Structure 1
Amino acid sequence: MSTYGFAAMLAPRSVAVVGAGERDGSVGRAVIDALRAGGFAGAIRPVNRKYQTIDGEPCFANLAELPEKPDLVLIATPPDTVPGIVDEAGASGAAAVIVLSAHLGRGEAEPIGAARRAARRHGLRLLGPDSIGLAVPGARLNATLLAHPPRPGDLALVTQSGTVASAIAAWAHRREVGFSAILTTGRSADVDVADALDHFAADLHTRAILLSLHRVDDARKFLSAARAAARVKPVVVLRTGRHQAPETEPQTHTGALARPDAVYAAAFRRAGLLAVDTLDEMFSAAETLRRQRPFPGNRLMIVANGRGIGALAADRLAERGGTAADATPETLEAIAPVRHGTSKNPIDLGVDAEARDYAAALGPLLACRGNDALLAIHVPTARAGARQTAEAVAGAVGEARRGGDRKKPVFAVSVGEDAEAAAIYAKAGIPLFATDSDAVDGFLHVVRYREAQENLMRTPASLPPAFKPDVETARSIVAGALAAGQSWLDPLSVKALLAAYAIPMQPCLLAPDGTSAAEAAWPMIARGEPVALKLVSPDVVHKSDVGGVRLGLTSEADVREAAARMVARVRTLRPEARITGFAVQAMVPRGNRRELIVGLAEDPTFGPVVVFGTGGTAVEVIDDRSLGLPPLDLRLAADQIFRTRVSRRLAAYRDVPAADFDAIALVLVQLAQIAADLPEVRELDINPLLADADGVLGLDGRIRVERASTLGRDVFHVKQFPSRFAIRPYPVAWERTMTLKGRAIRVRPVRPEDEGLFAAFFAEIDPEDVRLRFFTPMKHFSHAFLARLTQLDYSRAIAFVALDAADDTMLGAVRLHADANHESGEFAILVRSDIKGVGLGYALMRMMLDWAKAEGIARVEGSVLAENRAMLAVCRRLGFETKGSWDDASIVNVTKRNQ
């Protein structure tokens, strides 16, 4: 239901409290007191059949007796009574219910399930159970169990945990930090964090969102909402319970590397969220985001009145992966009178520094182009108190800004509590921190948020045209294995499946016994190639654990002996294991090749994940890995590689040439495509994958398969696709070829790598067409603008591009963006004027409407200039209703309801 009903829930005219009472310490009493203390202007109606009055005010036996319809109903009663009260609230006309009660169970047969069903019958929004309520300080609504009423501000706090909400609210109360809203979802019978993200992303009173969660139940819904929110404002996320054990025991190296905490981290990164690990970090991020907007660059200059405290900050910056700024010679010369020692960063002003020394240093440093931000650290001394230094720092910053320089961010540390200094920094808009490490973390939070935004908007490279997987062959391999009752593909099937996706693997031969293995090895040995012998058993996943791998064998006798030893060892260690034979491979000279591991793992929440890292038998001990959620493009794959330590070894060093980075990235994209095409593939290892300047080569691979369960028809596709995907992949089923008046035209969904295509289109199109589309002349189309057109969340938006089949030039495009409730969508269309009259505009509109219908979007609407008669004619032909805009006579609003 998403944001449906949020307006009434967050801005009620009247509130009823079912379970209100007079006993101190009771939930019903506490929430009544909170509403009154918060100054709620509407009616507060206590409901409890045990009382006639509460605090002298009438108390009602049930909701039906209230003198008016309650917009919001708070429930603080025993668990088994909650479903009936929810039903009663819906019958009374309420818009939303907050269940403060706990212990309603988990399943549909428990009270939580009955409460959910009752809410849905009435179209009622339900927050909780196990919620501590919600607060909207600007509306003087405090329907919470918080110790202190929150102050108005521009941070929205969304949590699943009431205790985390209480801790953040207590911190905010001490620091005078305000909130646009605080919302605790509890166990999310209806309203969940994704719904809240959708609402606060569009809320004009919210500048940043603080999110605390323990688990995600609907990964696709969450990621879609998170990605949409992160594109418009900072979202800081703290996950509790990060180190809980996985629900199932992994059977491959990639499965072991894809721990739940790492998968969540990968999901947050993909969505553009700023992830923190502790409440302290969240507080630091909140403080920074409250006073500091994102800024370009990542180089920090540190100024302190002491070498030691400055060095601590520099150490923290280095440990957290930050970048220290360099001071230019001119800047160093300008601050020489107040600078102690030779350090260029941090700048040491000396323990005897006075407040004016900070002003003398900050002026040139603020003007210096060698840094992007400053951190001023002050330890109060007899020569310079906290207040005087704060005035000097604030004065220098204000003077620089008045001088016309860009507003270079400044962060401050004043050791020790000083209310006067804090007030001065707050008035100047300078984030103040208690410690150097908090300040550095705050600086990095802003930097990483901006980097996440840039990553969301970066344009990926196009995939090689030659990458056209043989999906049918791969599917037949999997189907054959499943029909034979196999859960692990044999080595030849593994290589055949990977070959279907153009992933190069070292050839191997299968032999049923040691004698046959020796015979298979002989041609290789005769060529002077040592061989590797590997055990083949459907019951032994990790061959090395049972001595099932022997390398460097140089004679037939060695092969026979190795095979006999393997069999004997397996019979001792795993007597129940079935041995189906041996795999024989020619040894590959390692030379300058790097050992990597790549593969797929299955997460119970987010579905398939792509794994990359350092390969070999000790991958889990080394634990150098990164995870990515499919679908992947080459940019996302490159980012995933760069997040590992082994990525540094892929570059050239000494006399070793760089590995073929693009080939490695392509393998990750190919694996993501396997996950999309073959839902039966649940785990996949290629370990090691050797990489050097000439490309990549896999030596050993394992693939586990099981029948994919069908969880119903997916509304996003004409045909079904694996519902376990957390991010909706490119909708290939919507590619079309059409002929319009003898002209062949290809129409397909827009891809992220189409930015160059759109840039060329806008560069050549008639300016009048642009004016009719955007309602104003436009000469420049920025990267950010084009990225928004081409980088789509297919769960919320679609854009179809029309290409000339002869030369792939762009002829036009249509776009539809659905609202958060997926009930209506707004369209836009632009077609080149030189091909108008062939029916392309109509065809694109028809295709967009077909998409909307398949999506279940009930209403499609748009705005058209009244002078654009051709577009209005197309709309009328398609059944759109037209109506003049009430505030602009030059615009016509068009609307069509999908049947």
Structure 2
Amino acid sequence: MSIRNFDALFHPRSIALVGASNDPRSVGNVVARNLLAGGFDGPVMLVNPHERMIEGREVCNTLDALPECPDLAIVATPARTVPGIVGELGAMGCCAAVVISAGLGEAGESGKSLRQEMLERARPHLMRIVGPNCLGLISTGSGINASFSHLMPAKGEIALVSQSGAIATAILDWAAERNIGFSHVVSLGDMSDADFGDMLDFLSTDRETKAILLYVENVTFAKKFMSAARVASRSKPVLVIKSGRSAEGARAAQSHTGAMAGSDFVYDAAFRRAGILRVAALEDLFEAAATLSTGIRIGGERLAILTNGGGAGVLAVDWLEALGGHLAELSGPMLERLDAVLPPTWSRGNPVDIIGDATPERYRAALEILIADRAADAVLVINCPTAVADNMAAAQAVIEVAKTRPRFPVLANWLGGVTAGPVRAELARQRIPSFESPEDAIRAFTHLVDYRRNQAQLMETPAAGVMIPAEDVAAANRIIDEAAKEGRSTLSEWEAKEILRLFGVPTVPTFFVRSPEEAARKFAEIGGPAVLKIVSPEITHKSDVGGVRLDIESLRRDARRRK
């Protein structure tokens, strides 16, 4: 793990675009326009062997014609030219390059892939590479838009690191509509050099970043990723969307990235262990980031709901139950205190329905009691617009109470559009997480619960490791080598379980047999109930072809059942 020369990526003194173009349909032209319009206050130098002027700027026809060595180079040229360009830039003293070009998986003149040739040209000069096959890099604080994104995001405190350029642009578009800004946006592409581990290592100490969002298809160098993620999660929220939850999605991710996506169960466990919050949708990603970046944290899983509309409260409870949350139980003394400040028609339960004509004073009194009693770990305040009450004044009452207990989590859901919009903006300005619907608010609460659990797991100390005998390590390597010789990129279930067994991980006893007779002999040794599965590198889903037999208790009984 290294952030060597990352200052050249995010805070360069000068930038060169190699492959700038006058063709408005080309990546080189879009990147040139974005670079020149981004607000970067250092030199931006354009390189093209055939042009004299691009976007009103003089062009250098060769790299050695540049007036100075760039700290950062953006490369958007045909794939076969990239290794040579990277080598020449490195020899000049360039510290980092963002390689937007795609197609570097093809073989070069040496017989190696162009990607490998590029890395070998960069390595002697300690030059860092982002990409290839990426959207580019954006750093709002430095005014850098070294990408072919369709827009420059507003400056903010959220960093986005995405393996997919298309997902990155979709997130930027989605965020722009909601006035969400970014500190940095990095499209990693094929991750030939800089990867998620490196980016997490850099962003964990970046003062411009308060929360980190990841879009992940696969993780390379898992040990480095886990180490960096655990450090980053200790200092700021790290949230992830991981594609490939389903088997079909995993295969699609593999075909997209050219790398194995891996088991989703493994990723789930790894993210939890690293203190990362995993969410399922882009909306969840930003809601959770906005909530966590306010600094709000919870100490438990009990939620109290305060509302002036019974229907909205019921919807919130439905969503809370659906997402596995827990309503707080109101004690007898608390009910008595609420009776003293609320009208006789209030709900006398959780949700605390203070009736549609609720005044700011009623909101204030009820919220103070809910917070003071500590029966709940968080309070969700809901407001439905009515003609008999001022919803902005009600929000001001909530803000004032929340400020007296700054460490107690208060979430808000002001329903409506025209009248509620300014209220939600004011709540957000006061760093009270505010949502448009009960569903969004409840989902944010469950994100806080999950984040708390993951942070607790992050702080747990693993059991001391065990010494693995050398012969067991050798046996595991033989299994992997045999699979590699057969051209396979995955292990069979038997092979995987055998490796786990060799390394002391408990597994169901599993044996590999090559004939019905051998299966019968092995069954006689272990007894039932047992499971028989077909093993074939050409069959992924065994049950689809009748390749799984469950609950075998005896050979005779199973034979009768098949008849």
SS state of the match for residue 333, structure 2?
Answer: helix
Q: How does 1:133-172 map to 2 (within 5 A)?
A: 133-172=136-175
Runs of at least 5 residues in structure 2 that lack an aligned partner in the other structure: 252-260, 481-490, 532-547, 554-563
Match of 1:799 in 2: none
Match of 2:486 in 1: none
Note the aligned Cα RMSD (angstroms).
Answer: 4.0
CA distance in 2, matches of 1:273, 1:339: 46
Counterpart residue type for residue 524 of structure 2: A
CA contact (8 A) 1:339 1:349 kept: no
Q: Is 2:42 the partner of 1:15?
A: no
Q: Which has the higher strand share?
A: 1
CA distance in 2, matches of 1:23, 1:270: 48
Counterpart residue type for residue 455 of structure 2: Q
Length-normalised TM-score, structure 2: 0.79
Q: How does 1:760-799 map to 2 (within 5 A)?
A: none
Q: Is 2:407 the partner of 1:396?
A: no
CA contact (8 A) 2:22 2:55 kept: yes
Cα–Cα, structure 1 residues 123 and 354, in superposed 2: closer, same or farther, change >3 Å? same
Q: Is 2:280 the partner of 1:280?
A: no
Q: Is 2:49 the partner of 1:49?
A: yes
Cα–Cα, structure 1 residues 479 and 86, in superposed 2: closer, same or farther, change >3 Å? closer
Cα–Cα, structure 1 residues 306 and 596, in superposed 2: closer, same or farther, change >3 Å? farther
1:400-424, Cα deviation, whole Å (9 max, x unpaired):
x1xxx45211111122344421321
Match of 2:92 in 1: 92
Cα–Cα, structure 1 residues 289 and 618, in superposed 2: closer, same or farther, change >3 Å? farther
Counterpart residue type for residue 320 of structure 1: L
CA contact (8 A) 1:376 1:411 kept: yes
CA distance in 2, matches of 1:120, 1:438: 47
CA distance in 2, matches of 1:224, 1:246: 27
Match of 2:312 in 1: 309
CA distance in 1, matches of 2:314, 2:26: 52
1:138-166, Cα deviation, whole Å (9 max, x unpaired):
22222223333222222221111112222
Match of 2:203 among 200, 204, 211: 200
CA contact (8 A) 2:237 2:289 kept: no
Q: Is 2:378 the partner of 1:373?
A: yes
Q: How does 1:536-685 map to 2 (within 5 A)?
A: 538-539=513-514, 580=521, 583=524
SS state of the match for residue 160, structure 2?
Answer: strand
CA distance in 1, matches of 2:511, 2:72: 64
SS state of the match for residue 86, structure 1?
Answer: helix
CA distance in 2, matches of 1:502, 1:77: 49
Length-normalised TM-score, structure 1: 0.51
CA distance in 1, matches of 2:162, 2:288: 16
Deviation at 1:16, TM superposition (A): 0.9
Match of 1:457 in 2: 459
Q: How does 1:197-236 map to 2 (within 5 A)?
A: 197-236=200-239
CA distance in 1, matches of 2:349, 2:223: 48
Match of 1:407 in 2: 407
CA contact (8 A) 1:20 1:28 kept: yes
Cα–Cα, structure 1 residues 72 and 415, in superposed 2: closer, same or farther, change >3 Å? same
Counterpart residue type for residue 392 of structure 1: A
CA distance in 1, matches of 2:204, 2:44: 29
Runs of at least 5 residues in structure 1 that lack an aligned partner in the other structure: 249-257, 507-534, 541-569, 572-576, 588-594, 598-615, 620-686, 689-899
CA contact (8 A) 2:129 2:194 kept: yes
Q: How does 1:448-527 map to 2 (within 5 A)?
A: 448-459=450-461
Which contiguous aligned blocks of 4+ residues in structure 1 show a shift greater than 4 angstroms? 245-248, 338-341, 459-463, 468-482, 497-506, 577-582, 584-587, 616-619
Match of 1:423 among 390, 400, 425: 425
Counterpart residue type for residue 142 of structure 2: A
Cα–Cα, structure 1 residues 20 and 498, in superposed 2: closer, same or farther, change >3 Å? closer
Match of 2:116 in 1: 113
1:83-104, Cα deviation, whole Å (9 max, x unpaired):
2221222122211111122233
CA distance in 1, matches of 2:371, 2:117: 61
Cα–Cα, structure 1 residues 579 and 469, in superposed 2: closer, same or farther, change >3 Å? farther
Match of 1:325 among 303, 325, 328: 328
Q: Which has the higher helix share?
A: 2
Deviation at 1:49, TM superposition (A): 1.9
CA contact (8 A) 1:536 1:583 kept: no
Stretch of structure 1 that moved more, 13-22 or 347-356: 347-356
Deviation at 1:459, TM superposition (A): 4.9
CA distance in 2, matches of 1:31, 1:583: 69
Stretch of structure 1 that moved more, 259-268 or 125-134: 259-268
Cα–Cα, structure 1 residues 477 and 26, in superposed 2: closer, same or farther, change >3 Å? closer
Counterpart residue type for residue 583 of structure 1: A
Deviation at 1:288, TM superposition (A): 0.9
Deviation at 1:281, TM superposition (A): 1.4
Deviation at 1:128, TM superposition (A): 0.8
1:845-896, Cα deviation, whole Å (9 max, x unpaired):
xxxxxxxxxxxxxxxxxxxxxxxxxxxxxxxxxxxxxxxxxxxxxxxxxxxx
Q: How does 1:809-824 map to 2 (within 5 A)?
A: none
CA contact (8 A) 1:129 1:189 kept: yes
CA distance in 2, matches of 1:86, 1:500: 42
Q: Which has the larger radius of gyration?
A: 1
CA distance in 1, matches of 2:179, 2:212: 17
Match of 2:351 among 346, 351, 354: 346
| Identity within the alignment, % | 38
CA contact (8 A) 2:290 2:433 kept: yes
SS state of the match for residue 59, structure 1?
Answer: strand
CA contact (8 A) 1:338 1:357 kept: no
Deviation at 1:582, TM superposition (A): 5.3
CA contact (8 A) 2:272 2:458 kept: no
CA distance in 1, matches of 2:523, 2:411: 64
CA contact (8 A) 2:158 2:210 kept: yes
1:696-755, Cα deviation, whole Å (9 max, x unpaired):
xxxxxxxxxxxxxxxxxxxxxxxxxxxxxxxxxxxxxxxxxxxxxxxxxxxxxxxxxxxx
CA contact (8 A) 1:246 1:260 kept: no
Match of 1:128 among 127, 131, 144: 131
Higher relative contact order (CA 8 A, sep 6+): 2
Match of 1:362 in 2: 367
Match of 2:437 in 1: 435
Cα–Cα, structure 1 residues 406 and 59, in superposed 2: closer, same or farther, change >3 Å? closer
Counterpart residue type for residue 83 of structure 2: P
CA distance in 2, matches of 1:95, 1:498: 45
CA contact (8 A) 2:296 2:407 kept: no
Counterpart residue type for residue 304 of structure 2: M
Match of 2:270 in 1: 267
Stretch of structure 1 that moved more, 24-33 or 231-240: 24-33
Deviation at 1:501, TM superposition (A): 7.7
CA distance in 2, matches of 1:52, 1:134: 26
Cα–Cα, structure 1 residues 449 and 505, in superposed 2: closer, same or farther, change >3 Å? closer
CA contact (8 A) 2:237 2:293 kept: no
Stretch of structure 1 that moved more, 150-159 or 334-343: 334-343
Cα–Cα, structure 1 residues 118 and 392, in superposed 2: closer, same or farther, change >3 Å? same
SS state of the match for residue 105, structure 2?
Answer: coil
SS state of the match for residue 583, structure 1?
Answer: helix
Counterpart residue type for residue 64 of structure 2: A
Cα–Cα, structure 1 residues 121 and 537, in superposed 2: closer, same or farther, change >3 Å? closer
Deviation at 1:136, TM superposition (A): 1.7
CA distance in 1, matches of 2:249, 2:408: 45
Q: How many residues align?
A: 507
Match of 2:188 in 1: 185
CA distance in 1, matches of 2:297, 2:142: 28
